[in-house]
Amino acid sequence: MRILRFLPALFLFLPQLPVGAMEAQAQTAVVLRAGSPGIGLEVARDLHPRVSVRGGLGAIPGQAFDLTLEDDQVDMGFDVEAGLGTFHLMADFLPLGPRVRLSAGLIHNSLSLDALGTPLNAYEVGNRLFTPDELGSVRAQAEYGRRLAPYLGVGLGSLTTGRRVGVVLDAGVAFSGPLSVDLEATGMLSPSVNQEVVIQEALDGVRIFPALSLGLAVRL
């Protein structure tokens, strides 16, 4: 897997303590995660009994699917492609012990969405029948305007202490700002691009990316 080739490099981002302190306290874990940031791996390491750091990668492979929107006059068929890749660096604070974690850090989110819509039937105006080719097409693309976003969250379950294998749950939000939308259209559908402002205004109210994941931690 491509993710595995990047894992050793994550240790370069993990601050090091003097050897004596590390021998007494340091624990390391590899965590397999699945959730809204994708499916991936992370490496976690203790810095202090109440502080640990972690970094990892996640992805949801590109998905392609068809969507149909029915209308009284013209039905539209959409070819949709979506994909997600994430990279994160976090610090965990353990005010109540290893099983409850308060987390802060950064998430890089490369969510992308591409939808191409074409008419599925002809459209009659007066005595003139317009074919789907004459009607044209509309394309919508969306991605987060701020790909590198601050993150705050809470976690349940210890990453680096306890039994060799344990279950962990993390929930939080990345302050990614709204999705940025770009519309393109051809033919008689060209005026559809005027809806870009309306769509963007609707998305401006959603400025967070919910990050929820379940993980399996293996302590080394």
Residue 23 has pLDDT above 70, yes or no: no
Tokens of 179: 């999705």
Q: Global pTM?
A: 0.75
Between the alpha carbon of residue 72 and those of residues 69, 114, 121, 122, the distances in Å are: 10, 25, 11, 12
Mean pLDDT estimate for the chain: 86
Residue 196 has pLDDT above 70, yes or no: yes
**Res. 26 pLDDT band, cuts 50 70 90:** low
pLDDT score for 51: 93
Residue labelled with tokens 């940031």: 37
DSSP string, the chain: -HHHHHHHHHGGGS----HHHHHHH--EEEEEEEETTEEEEEEEEEEETTEEEEEEEEEEEEEEEEEEE--SS--EEEEEEEEEEEEEEEEEE-BTBTTEEEEEEEEEE--EEEEEEEESS-EEETTEEE-HHHH--EEEEEEES--EEEEEEEEES-SSSSSSEEEEEEEEEE---PEEEEEEE-GGGGGGGGHHHHHHHHHTT---EEEEEEEEEEE-
Average pLDDT value for residue range 42-70: 92
Q: Does domain 2-219 have CATH number 3.90.1150.10?
A: no
Residue ranges of domains in the chain: 2-219
Residue 183 has pLDDT above 50, yes or no: yes
Average pLDDT value for residue range 116-124: 92
Residue 22 has pLDDT above 90, yes or no: no
Question: HSE on the CB side for 211, CA within 13 Å?
Answer: 37
CA angle in degrees (0–180, nearest 5) for 61-112-70: 95
pLDDT score for 108: 95
**Res. 57 pLDDT band, cuts 50 70 90:** very high
pLDDT score for 53: 96
**Res. 159 pLDDT band, cuts 50 70 90:** very high
**Res. 11 pLDDT band, cuts 50 70 90:** very low
Instruction: Give CA torsion, residues 151, 209, 55, 3, to 10 deg.
Output: -170
Q: How many CB atoms lie within 10 A of CB 150?
A: 13
Residue 25 has pLDDT above 90, yes or no: no
Q: Which residue has the higher pLDDT, 61 or 107?
A: 107
pLDDT score for 97: 84
Q: Which of 33-42, 77-86, 98-107, 125-134 is predicted with the least confidence, judged by mean pLDDT?
A: 125-134
Residue labelled with tokens 């302050």: 175
